Amino acid sequence: MTAKPLDVDAQQFNEEVINAGEPVLVDFWASWCGPCRMVAPVLEKIAADYEGKVKVVKVNVDENADIASRYGIMSIPTMMLFKNGEPVETIVGFRNKEELSSILEQSL
Protein backbone atom coordinates (compact mmCIF):
# COMPACT_ATOMS: atom_id res chain seq x y z
CA MET A 1 0.00 0.00 0.00
CA THR A 2 1.35 3.38 -0.98
CA ALA A 3 1.60 6.12 1.65
CA LYS A 4 -0.79 9.02 1.25
CA PRO A 5 -0.89 12.38 3.01
CA LEU A 6 -2.76 12.07 6.28
CA ASP A 7 -5.39 14.66 7.23
CA VAL A 8 -4.86 15.70 10.84
CA ASP A 9 -6.78 17.96 13.17
CA ALA A 10 -5.76 19.77 16.35
CA GLN A 11 -6.27 16.64 18.48
CA GLN A 12 -4.03 14.50 16.26
CA PHE A 13 -1.36 17.14 15.57
CA ASN A 14 0.85 16.46 18.61
CA GLU A 15 0.78 12.70 18.08
CA GLU A 16 1.27 12.74 14.30
CA VAL A 17 3.68 15.70 14.01
CA ILE A 18 5.27 16.83 17.28
CA ASN A 19 5.84 13.32 18.69
CA ALA A 20 6.57 11.59 15.35
CA GLY A 21 9.68 9.46 15.14
CA GLU A 22 10.41 10.56 11.58
CA PRO A 23 10.51 13.97 9.88
CA VAL A 24 7.02 15.25 9.01
CA LEU A 25 6.10 17.51 6.09
CA VAL A 26 2.96 19.45 7.07
CA ASP A 27 0.84 20.98 4.30
CA PHE A 28 -1.25 23.90 5.57
CA TRP A 29 -4.10 24.21 3.05
CA ALA A 30 -7.77 25.09 2.47
CA SER A 31 -10.35 23.68 0.07
CA TRP A 32 -10.94 27.09 -1.60
CA CYS A 33 -7.22 27.61 -2.37
CA GLY A 34 -6.29 26.96 -6.02
CA PRO A 35 -2.53 26.54 -5.47
CA CYS A 36 -3.32 24.15 -2.58
CA ARG A 37 -5.27 21.95 -4.99
CA MET A 38 -2.34 22.12 -7.44
CA VAL A 39 0.17 20.97 -4.83
CA ALA A 40 -2.02 18.10 -3.53
CA PRO A 41 -1.01 15.56 -6.25
CA VAL A 42 2.65 16.60 -5.81
CA LEU A 43 2.40 15.82 -2.10
CA GLU A 44 0.84 12.43 -2.87
CA LYS A 45 3.89 11.59 -4.98
CA ILE A 46 6.23 12.88 -2.24
CA ALA A 47 4.39 10.74 0.35
CA ALA A 48 4.85 7.66 -1.84
CA ASP A 49 8.49 8.42 -2.77
CA TYR A 50 9.53 9.13 0.82
CA GLU A 51 7.47 6.40 2.49
CA GLY A 52 9.32 5.29 5.62
CA LYS A 53 11.55 8.41 5.55
CA VAL A 54 9.13 11.35 5.75
CA LYS A 55 5.51 11.42 6.86
CA VAL A 56 3.26 13.84 4.94
CA VAL A 57 0.28 15.35 6.75
CA LYS A 58 -2.30 17.94 5.76
CA VAL A 59 -3.80 20.55 8.09
CA ASN A 60 -6.91 22.38 6.88
CA VAL A 61 -6.39 25.96 8.12
CA ASP A 62 -10.13 26.73 8.10
CA GLU A 63 -10.84 23.84 10.47
CA ASN A 64 -7.63 24.21 12.52
CA ALA A 65 -6.98 27.96 12.76
CA ASP A 66 -5.31 27.51 16.16
CA ILE A 67 -2.53 25.37 14.66
CA ALA A 68 -2.10 27.74 11.71
CA SER A 69 -1.77 30.75 14.02
CA ARG A 70 0.62 28.87 16.37
CA TYR A 71 3.03 28.49 13.44
CA GLY A 72 2.42 31.92 11.91
CA ILE A 73 0.81 30.67 8.72
CA MET A 74 -0.12 33.80 6.77
CA SER A 75 -0.57 32.46 3.25
CA ILE A 76 -1.34 29.06 1.82
CA PRO A 77 -0.21 26.68 0.69
CA THR A 78 2.57 26.66 3.25
CA MET A 79 4.49 23.48 3.87
CA MET A 80 6.56 23.10 7.00
CA LEU A 81 9.09 20.35 7.66
CA PHE A 82 9.23 19.23 11.29
CA LYS A 83 12.12 17.28 12.79
CA ASN A 84 12.05 16.19 16.43
CA GLY A 85 8.86 18.20 16.92
CA GLU A 86 10.36 21.48 15.69
CA PRO A 87 9.82 23.26 12.36
CA VAL A 88 13.12 23.30 10.47
CA GLU A 89 12.03 24.41 7.00
CA THR A 90 9.14 26.52 5.68
CA ILE A 91 8.06 26.48 2.03
CA VAL A 92 5.44 29.03 0.96
CA GLY A 93 3.50 28.69 -2.29
CA PHE A 94 3.31 26.01 -4.95
CA ARG A 95 6.42 23.92 -5.57
CA ASN A 96 6.80 21.13 -8.10
CA LYS A 97 7.96 17.64 -7.12
CA GLU A 98 11.59 18.30 -8.05
CA GLU A 99 11.76 21.46 -5.91
CA LEU A 100 10.13 19.77 -2.92
CA SER A 101 12.34 16.68 -3.25
CA SER A 102 15.42 18.88 -3.37
CA ILE A 103 14.36 20.76 -0.22
CA LEU A 104 13.62 17.48 1.57
CA GLU A 105 16.93 15.93 0.54
CA GLN A 106 18.83 18.94 1.94
CA SER A 107 16.98 18.69 5.24
CA LEU A 108 17.09 14.94 5.81
Q: Which residues are catalytic?
A: 33, 36
Instruction: Name the residue among 81, 72, 63, 83 with its Cα closest to residue 12.
Output: 63
Using left for φ > 0, alpha for ψ between -120 and 50, and beta otherwise, residue 95 falls in beta
Contact call for residues 56 and 40 (beta carbons, < 8 A): no
